[in-house]
């Protein structure tokens, strides 16, 4: 049986970030559409994870990427409307049990664009 991966998210002026917390993931598949993200993978024990998120607002699926590490898979999606805050990541105003805000990365936007640009460039190099 599939189960949802624990997921953290945070919002930035130009991108919205999702981190699927699965260690030693294999068979990672990420499908980013304009208003939907589908994630699936397996972990070292062969457990299957599956998350489907109807996104709060439209993203530019062409300018969205993911990066896998031993601990998690991070996706970042370019907002269609930049500099518009997302109050939540899901279209529906409900919070699934597996989803939480990444407070370590959540902060005020002031002066944040430069930080974000550097971050995205680092991701792009991977």
In the chain, what are the domain boundaries? Answer: 7-125
Q: Mean pLDDT for the chain?
A: 91
The pLDDT, as a whole number, for residue 106 is: 79
> Which residues does the chain have with pLDDT short of 50?
none
The pLDDT, as a whole number, for residue 112 is: 67
The pLDDT, as a whole number, for residue 71 is: 97
Could you tell me the pTM of the whole model?
Answer: 0.87
The pLDDT, as a whole number, for residue 35 is: 97
Return the CATH number of the domain spanning residue range 7-125: 2.60.40.790
The pLDDT, as a whole number, for residue 104 is: 87
The pLDDT, as a whole number, for residue 111 is: 64
The DSSP result for the chain, as a single string, is: --BPPPEEEEE-SSEEEEEE--TT-EEEEEEE-SSEEEEEEE-TT--EEEEEEEBSS-EEEEEEEEEE-SS-EEEEEEESSTT---S-SBSSS---TTEEE-TTT----TTHHHHHHHHHHHHHH-
The pLDDT, as a whole number, for residue 125 is: 63
């Amino acid at each position: 049986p599939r189960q949802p991966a624990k997921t953290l998210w945070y919002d930035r002026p130009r991108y919205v970030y999702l981190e699927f917390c699965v260690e030693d993931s294999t068979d990672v598949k990420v499908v980013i559409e304009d208003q939907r993200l589908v994630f699936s993978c397996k972990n070292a024990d062969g457990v299957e994870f599956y998350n489907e998120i109807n996104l709060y607002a439209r993203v530019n699926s062409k300018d969205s990427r993911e990066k896998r590490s031993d601990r998690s898979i991070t996706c970042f999606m370019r907002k269609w409307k930049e500099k518009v805050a997302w109050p939540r990541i899901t279209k529906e105003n409900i919070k699934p049990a597996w989803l939480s805000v990444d407070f370590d990365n959540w902060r005020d936007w002031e002066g944040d664009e430069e930080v974000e640009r550097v971050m995205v460039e680092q991701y792009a190099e991977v």
